[in-house]
């Protein structure tokens, strides 16, 4: 296997620069705007920039596809211990989760790694709008999630705009 140069030294240098002018060490633990933003881990999305968030404003939960089932543990902690009272779900165009099925990925893991991933729900989807609606529904129906406003959007990776998803 070819040697790959680590990015870690770049991160450490960037952090030294950041920390040298850091002034936000006294922010309170609970998010100031009492909101959870559930969004995909895609590197083309910067939730803070696209929503105008600053440090301390929101709990941002990121995972592949921005899926609610994968975020449930964090949602419960955020609501029960840190007082969040609104959820925003954001999926996006050109999402990798649209490009495979769970069974395809499980087969790939079995072939490439000689391991069984049958116990993992990878939560792929084929309909972007429906995936947002499904995640909103999952959160609203889950007895562990408070009855609070939940709004869904699709972020367009080509324009930078969010478009509200309604049933």
Residues of the binding site: 40, 42, 92, 95
What stretch of H or E contains 11?
Answer: helix 8-20
**Backbone dihedral angles phi then psi of residue 119, each to the nearest 5 degrees:** -80, -5
The 10 Å Cβ neighbour count of residue 56 is: 14
d(CA 2, CA 116): 27
What stretch of H or E contains 41?
Answer: none
Pairing of strands 162-165, 150-155: antiparallel
Residues of the binding site for Zn(2+): 40, 42, 92, 95
Question: Three-state SS for 35?
Answer: strand
Q: Which residue has the tokens 């440090």?
A: 55
């Amino acid at each position: 296997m070819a040697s790959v140069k680590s990015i870690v030294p770049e991160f450490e240098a960037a952090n030294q620069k950041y920390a040298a002018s850091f002034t936000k060490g006294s922010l309170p633990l609970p998010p100031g705007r009492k909101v959870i933003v559930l969004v995909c881990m895609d590197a083309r999305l910067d939730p803070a920039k696209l929503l105008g968030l600053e440090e301390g404003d929101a709990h941002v939960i990121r995972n592949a596809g921005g899926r609610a089932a994968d975020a449930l543990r964090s949602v419960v902690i955020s609501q029960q211990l840190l007082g969040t009272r609104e959820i925003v779900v954001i999926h996006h165009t050109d999402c990798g989760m649209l490009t495979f099925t769970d069974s395809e990925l499980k087969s790939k893991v079995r072939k490439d790694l000689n391991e069984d991933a049958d116990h993992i729900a990878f939560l792929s989807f084929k309909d972007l709008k429906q995936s947002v609606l499904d995640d909103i529904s999952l959160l609203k129906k889950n007895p562990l999630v408070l009855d609070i406003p939940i709004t869904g959007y699709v972020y367009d990776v080509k324009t930078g705009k969010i478009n509200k998803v309604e049933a």
